[in-house]
Amino acid sequence: MESGKIDYSFLPKEKFRGDDYLCQWNGFWFRQPFLEAAHQVLNHYKPLPTDTVLASYPKTGTTWLKALLYSIINRSSRDSILTNHPHMLVPTLEIQLYGPKTGSFDSFAGTANSSARILATHLPYQVISGTINSTDCRVVYITRNPKDTLVSSWHFYPKSKEVKDPWSLEDAVEKFCNGVGNCGPYYDHVLGYWKESLERPHKVFFITYEELKSDTKTHVKRLAEFLGCPFDGDGKEEDVLDEIVSSCSFEKMSNYEANKSDDGHMGWLKFPLSSFFRQGGTGDHKNYLTPEMINRVDKITAEKFHGSGFMYGI
């Protein structure tokens, strides 16, 4: 994108929910305010070599990993996690910092000399690659089982303060399978970062929600090594590691007062802060999707992921 106002009239559009619609740009679908924000990110965000960028498709574990990354880099930070929502500790570029009417650009520019900025983005690699590859900043990418991602999205979007219309599961499945979702197609989003992690593992750390859930402590240590702040193995550091894993667990975080608010929201995205904590497990799709829905998603997963050599998601 170049500087200047975006002309949306020429972009393909698809109805998403209620009166909300998505615009297709560069092969991906975006809500209009999200696309406006992406325009600002690509034109104004200048990553520092010391930046850590958490990238993800929506509803794949972003909130949890924000808390973990913040705690790893700042070592413990239990008080911050207790009193601040993870989205306040690790702002999302296109929502809080460069989003429409956020007013955060100037204050963010003032942190240019910070040695440990942690930022997040939902932008696909195919869109933001030029920006994040302009320096030696590190990228951490998380993904989640496609069926669980679908169900999590279906639960999440109706909590919007702007679009109150109900969303049928059948329509959510149809949209997901057709690749129509904010920052979708999901499969293209995941594969963009996965392929980059294979080519440049020193640059992109790729992890699945299921891996992180099954052995959080091991993967927190791996993340710390990737970020250049490893735990040295002595007793004190081991205690800090255990505290991070415990303080950032879903069970603990979902009960912190800062995460239970139904009033607050992040930037222009009008969702209550409590809506980012629902179930926190794996395999939840089995409680909602019919066998036919599961088979349909699995067929696409086999074609998109397995066909690319990424043996995941079924």
pLDDT of 233 reads 75
The mean pLDDT of 236-263, rounded to a whole number, is 79
pLDDT of 110 reads 43
Q: Residue holding tokens 């989205």?
A: 87
Amino acid at 263: D
How does pLDDT run across 22-59, given as a tens digit for each residue? Answer: 999 999 999 888 898 999 999 999 999 999 999 999 99
Q: Quote the pTM value.
A: 0.90
- Catalytic site residue 122? yes
Between residues 27 and 18, which one has the greater pLDDT?
27
193 within 8 A of 186, measured Cβ to Cβ: no
The mean pLDDT of 149-163, rounded to a whole number, is 76
- The residues facing 152 across adjacent strands are none
Strands 118-121 and 28-31: what pairing?
Answer: unpaired
- Read off φ and ψ for residue 66, nearest 5 degrees: -60, -45
- Residue 235: pLDDT band (50, 70, 90) is confident
Strands 13-17 and 20-25: what pairing?
Answer: antiparallel
pLDDT of 1 reads 44
CA distance 262 to 274: 6
80 within 8 A of 66, measured Cβ to Cβ: no
pLDDT of 104 reads 53
pLDDT of 82 reads 79
Q: How high does pLDDT run on average in the chain?
A: 86
- Residue 166: pLDDT band (50, 70, 90) is confident
In this structure, of 35-49, 124-138, 157-171, 176-190, the range with the lowest mean pLDDT score is 157-171
Full set of structural domains in the chain with CATH: 34-308 (3.40.50.300)
Between residues 165 and 307, which one has the greater pLDDT?
307
Query: In 3D, which of 38, 45, 204 has the Cα closest to residue 112?
Result: 45
Asked whether residue 265 carries a pLDDT value surpassing 70, the answer given is: no
Query: In 3D, which of 97, 123, 116 has the Cα closest to residue 35?
Result: 123
pLDDT of 22 reads 95
Asked whether residue 250 carries a pLDDT value surpassing 50, the answer given is: yes
- Residue 2: pLDDT band (50, 70, 90) is very low
Query: In 3D, which of 144, 100, 138 has the Cα closest to residue 117?
Result: 138
Catalytic residue among 122, 155, 189, 219: 122
User: For residue 50, what are the contacts with CB-CB under 8 A and spacing of at least 6?
Assistant: 114, 115, 116, 117, 137
Between residues 58 and 96, which one has the greater pLDDT?
58
- Residue 267: pLDDT band (50, 70, 90) is low
pLDDT of 198 reads 98
Asked whether residue 167 carries a pLDDT value surpassing 60, the answer given is: yes
Long-range contacts of 297-301 (CB under 8 A, 24+ apart): 297/146, 297/147, 297/150, 297/173, 297/176, 297/177, 298/147, 300/146, 300/177, 300/187, 301/146, 301/187
- Residue 168: both structure tokens together: 């049928």
pLDDT of 277 reads 52
What share of the chain has pLDDT > 90, as a percent? 61
CA distance 204 to 139: 5
Amino acid at 240: V
- Residue 170: both structure tokens together: 């059948």
How many other CB atoms are there within 10 angstroms of residue 280's CB atom?
17
pLDDT of 96 reads 83
Which helix (H) or strand (E) is 138 found in, with range?
strand 138-143
- Measured CA to CA in angstroms, residue 64 lies from 69, 113, 142, 152, 257 at distances of 9, 26, 10, 14, 16
Asked whether residue 4 carries a pLDDT value surpassing 60, the answer given is: no
How does pLDDT run across 116-136, given as a tens digit for each residue? Answer: 899 999 999 999 999 999 999
Query: In 3D, which of 110, 163, 135 has the Cα closest to residue 53?
Result: 135
- Which ranges of the chain would DSSP assign to H, the alpha helix? 32-44, 62-74, 78-83, 86-89, 105-109, 125-132, 146-156, 169-177, 186-199, 209-214, 216-226, 235-247, 250-253, 291-304
pLDDT of 302 reads 98
Between residues 87 and 268, which one has the greater pLDDT?
87
pLDDT of 186 reads 98
- Residue 156: pLDDT band (50, 70, 90) is confident
| Secondary structure letter of residue 93 according to DSSP | I
CA distance 273 to 214: 26
The mean pLDDT of 194-215, rounded to a whole number, is 98
